[in-house]
Amino acid sequence: MTPPSLVLRALLIVTFVLSWAESTSAQDAGPQASIEFTASASLAASPLEDDATLHAVTFVGARTGWAVGDRGVCWITRDGGQKWIFSRTPVRCALRDVCFLTDRVGWAVGAEVAPYTRFASGVILHTTDGGLNWKILSQGQLPPLFQVQFLDDQLGFVIGEATPRCPTGILISTDAGTTWEAVNGPRATSWRTAALTSQGTGIVAGPRGSLGLVGRGQLARTIDQFQGLRAIHAVSLTEDGRGWLVGDGGWALQTSNGGTSWSPPNAALPSRLRDCMEFLAVAQHEDHVWIAGSPGSVIWHSPDSGQRWEALPTGETTPWRSLHFTSPTQGVAVGDLGKILRTTDGGQTWQPVRAGGRHLAYLTIQARPDQIPLATLTKYSAEWGYRSGTILLTRRDLGTDSERQRPLSLRADEALSSVGANVATVDWRLPLTVPGLDRDRNKLLDEWSLLTDQKLPEVVLTDLIAQIRTWQPEVILLSEPSADDAAGRIVFDAALKAIDQAADPLAGHEVTQLLGLAPWSVSKVFTRTIIPQAGPLTVHPREMLVRVGSPVDQLVEPALARLLDTPPILGMETLRLIHSRIEADTTTPTLFGGLEIPTNGPMRRAHLPTNLNGLEKRQQDIKTREGFVNFSRQLMIGPEGGQQLIAQLRSKVAAISPDEGAKLLSDVARDYRDRMLFEGAEQAYSLLLDLYPDHPAAPESAAWLLRFWASSEIGWLRIKPRLSQRGESQTDRAILQAEFQQGLHENQKLPGTLSVPELSPSITPIQQAITPVRVKPRGLVELVAGQEAPTQSADLLTLQAEQWRGSADRITGLVDRTAPGFFREPEIQLAVAALMRRSSRPAESDKIIDELLKLDSKDAWNQLAQGEIWLLRPQIRSPRPVATCRRTTLPPRLDGELQDACWEGATELFLTEQPAEASREFMGAAPVPTAGVQILKARPMVLMLYDDRFLYLAGTMPRQTGLSLAPSQQAGRTHDADLNAYDRISFALDTDRDYNTFYRLDVDQRGHTRDACWEFSGWNPKWYVASAGDDQVWRFEAAIPWTELAPAAPQPSTFWAIGITRTLPTVGLQGWNHPVTETPSPQTFGLLRFE
């Protein structure tokens, strides 16, 4: 679809203005052909739908309104908000906004995060019968959406996350929402709220104070003056340009010129609101302004555009997410736990018309998302109906890896909602911005004290007291911090103190006076133990939930996959009671024992119906899966056992339900991956796709196989043992040690007297499983069927690589079919492009690159594509940084001093905190001759050379004030040492430029190392490292044999991709290419040219 021209937009807007006047008159006269709702017109809401959070409310006229929220819920009123009936939509994700033009025609938008792939996308629904029936216009193709506004029955806008294909975060439709195009304008981050006039002009706003102006069908400009920690949650705008924005920390600003400039209201709201209230909603009508949020105990009102304010009590404490006033007197507020309030006197009094008095039965307070007790939440909320929520007190969206991650608030909402919880709140005040800061208590306190104007204890306590009094939980769950978890310890101690003070009428007086929150006494406090153990307060992952109809892990693992980039293997969760005012807990404590919490009451839902049909079979399937997975882990110790296991998989899953079968295969595949038993992993995943192609785990399994089969690095790891040790089935430890010592001895004979410090050997999984596991499967599994190894090594390499590439090629169609939006993600497309390139299909590769070139020119994916185009016809200057690795005839002596003559011709690559101006070194020019390595220069620098046998890496790093001066330690080193507390350098080497899989080699200031290939930390190559230094700098030299990386040394003019990152714990990152991320990501890679 071609974006509408300005002329077409003008005609549409003129048409809308004319129709607006007609429709307004019609509405004033009364609804035309209105829909009569009866009790039979709506299905009853399930217990989970009944208390779903409501995010938005809107009205057409004074009587007809709609509210939408989590789990796809929609509530409808025809009497001005006195009564509401439920309407089920065809989605179960969170609906964030709703817009109606008439009492029949409307749209709703939302966002969902797919389990396993963590792919976030938008949803658009449409109705033509007043919300009784909804149809999906778009799902899985657009970015996550948070607001919708139609100017007429054809022209509409949606706003949401900025993505590579929608860099402005705003889309426009001219066909009633059937198709959408990204509007033009500057690149944005993401938007959460918008307000447009009938002329299509207005404002958009979102996280970190982001603010923009919309006009003439495009994002006109962004405003940077408010960027910081606080988010803007809601905006409003009148036709004459008067408007408001509200956000975190009691933040409120007003405009009189359509958003061009902003200022505080003439009468300031209380400054102490910054520490205890978040503004989430705003509404305007004439000169009246209402602001609501969390806590929901008061709604702030100004009758004169901010000249004076009054706090209007609501009688409720939980948050309000949206406000709508149809007149200066009549309004509605909607929010958490499905609550709806109504006022007929401008907010002076509020009446609960739905779900009044609800609050939480239990609340968890955590420092990190991986501490959230999801299994406990699943058992007690999804199964038993106790209302629950989680508060995360730290945020990581400003950290070094923030560019790589979807917003935590969105992922946490989806994850907790999927396990039956009600609330997920991420606090805005306490960011973790640099690696290692969460492990250093003193530096963390200094950082957070600076951000809170040296009032950290007071700010955190006030916030937590307000949260406890807002949610009024009977039980609070904490997490026992580990010894090196400084952030966890601070949160744990603050939570205990806040629990005590929340019950004290003399504590938190600002909370009491400003917000009217009464003291609240928590009955029990539990902590989740670091080491789980069986007991009355333990939740086992295979525990059967009878009402839900599945075991705990069937809900928790998809939730974990939504929440975390690298989900851990799910184990037991054990709670320990640390405080109780219930006498019965002195013997055998239980979570809610001794507490009066009736079902279908304020803290607990009505029970889900119990389905006993097939219960015995489901329980037996769970036992079968658990038993087989445990048995398989024993068999995987040796390659023969792995072969026996694969042969049993198909018959085993055939006897159990599809959900349990898919889960069994996923578990087995994960175990194979953890042990680097490659053939077993690909067989298990292939069988999963063959038998359960529509299971939610299928897209992630297919994507893993695509990356796995297309990867040159993984291919070499698999082929190398066959070439060198074909036919062996296991490795004797004594033989391995002898080979290791022999390798060291041989290296003493290398030219240049290569001196290598000894690295302690270890038997790796790939050395233990040299003989591939082979079976003869059917269906999709035939993609990985083995063939007899040819006689010549070159034949084996070529044939096997072609077979894997063919398998990867065929799997692309499955990913495209099962998850088309995910398949179109640039990261997946680059893997496919690399596959096509190596399969001698350049036209198909070029087509993918051309699509990436259509993205915004400042987008990292566009720049990667520009680099690939440049490689076809290299010019003097490259759009991507280019590092040169020169061939040397005289290898260095590895002593960490960098004094060998060979280094004089190496190109110096300097590492910086911020992007440097374009330089000759980074733009593909010939290296500038130097008179030797300038070690005394106070700039971190890396050098690279190569010969026929080794790739040589070296660097000199100025010491950072305040960091450890740990000296070089040559003795006792092992593979994969813990480097987290030390200054370190990381090299990511992508030999096929697929930007998905790569080798990673880390060296720290002591000369200790860590290495991995893609996700496999068990890859332990033989490489040699020396380090040295003094009080001013530390240096290293390393040599890695080509046989560890590729079949042979690269030929001249070969290009790899490379990322180079220096991590300074508690300080930050330095890199050769920007943006720099702690975990290598495509945008951190430049090009590496061998000369």
pLDDT in tens, 89-123: 999 999 999 999 999 999 999 999 888 888 889 99
Residue 751: Cβ-neighbour burial (10 angstroms; 0-12, 13-18, 19+): exposed
Could you count the other beta carbons within 10 Å of the beta carbon of residue 586? Answer: 9
**Residues 1063, 963: Cα–Cα separation, whole Å:** 11
pLDDT of residue 734: 41
Tokens of 525: 């406090």
Strands 524-528 and 475-479: parallel
Q: What CA–CA distances, in Å, run from 197 to 105, 304, 517?
A: 19, 21, 37
Instruction: Identify each DSSP E strand in 320-369 by its residue range.
Output: 320-325, 331-335, 340-343, 351-354, 362-366
CA angle 470, 471, 473 (to 5 degrees): 135
pLDDT of residue 813: 85
Residue 269: Cβ-neighbour burial (10 angstroms; 0-12, 13-18, 19+): buried
Tokens of 926: 């010939």
Q: What is the helix (H) or strand (E) element at residue 767, kind and residue range?
A: helix 765-768
pLDDT of residue 35: 41
**Residues 294, 392: Cα–Cα separation, whole Å:** 15
**Residues 551, 553: Cα–Cα separation, whole Å:** 6
Per the DSSP assignment, residues forming a β-bridge with 1039 are 952, 1024
Contact 461, 497 (CB under 8 A): yes
Residue length of the chain: 1091
For residue 201, give the DSSP letter.
Answer: -
**Residues 1043, 1045: Cα–Cα separation, whole Å:** 6
Please, how many CA atoms are within 13 Å of residue 287, restricted to the half-sphere of its CB?
8
**Residues 611, 546: Cα–Cα separation, whole Å:** 7
Tokens of 419: 């396990």
pLDDT of residue 854: 86
Q: What CA–CA distances, in Å, run from 982 to 739, 1006, 1066?
A: 31, 8, 10
**Residues 378, 307: Cα–Cα separation, whole Å:** 48
Contacts of 431 (CB under 8 A, 6+ apart): 229, 394, 395, 396, 397, 398, 399, 451
Residue 1047: Cβ-neighbour burial (10 angstroms; 0-12, 13-18, 19+): middle
Contact 1011, 1025 (CB under 8 A): no
String of DSSP letters for 357-370: T---SEEEEESSGG
**Residues 355, 424: Cα–Cα separation, whole Å:** 19
Please, how many CA atoms are within 13 Å of residue 926, restricted to the half-sphere of its CB?
3
pLDDT of residue 916: 64
**Residues 686, 4: Cα–Cα separation, whole Å:** 45
Pick the CATH number of 365-586 from 3.30.160.160, 3.40.50.10320, 3.30.70.1060, 3.40.47.10: 3.40.50.10320
Could you count the other beta carbons within 10 Å of the beta carbon of residue 576? Answer: 15
What's the CATH code, domain 874-1090? 2.60.40.1190
With b for 16 or more beta-carbon neighbours within 10 A and e for fewer, the 224-255 pattern comes to eebeebbbbbbbbbeeeebbbbbbbbbbbbbb
Please, how many CA atoms are within 13 Å of residue 489, restricted to the half-sphere of its CB?
12
Nearest to 374, CA basis, from 619, 566, 568: 568
Tokens of 1021: 């190559």
CA angle 881, 882, 886 (to 5 degrees): 155
Phi/psi region, residue 814 (left: phi>0; alpha: psi -120 to 50; beta: rest), is alpha
Give the pTM.
0.87
Pick the CATH number of 6-41+103-321+343-349 from 3.40.50.10420, 2.130.10.10, 3.40.1390.20, 3.90.1300.10: 2.130.10.10
Strands 310-313 and 298-302: antiparallel
Contact 73, 86 (CB under 8 A): yes
Residue with tokens 């072969």: 643
| Domain ranges within the chain, ordered by starting residue | 6-41+103-321+343-349, 365-586, 615-729+770-824, 874-1090
Low-confidence ranges of the chain (pLDDT < 70): 1-42, 401-406, 584-587, 638-644, 724-798, 857, 916-937
Nearest to 562, CA basis, from 667, 698, 454, 415: 415
What does the longest C-alpha to C-alpha distance in the chain come to?
Answer: 98
**Residues 173, 1: Cα–Cα separation, whole Å:** 10
Could you count the other beta carbons within 10 Å of the beta carbon of residue 964? Answer: 14
Q: What is the helix (H) or strand (E) element at residue 450, kind and residue range?
A: helix 441-451
**Residues 261, 255: Cα–Cα separation, whole Å:** 6
Q: Cα–chain-centroid distance for residue 770?
A: 36
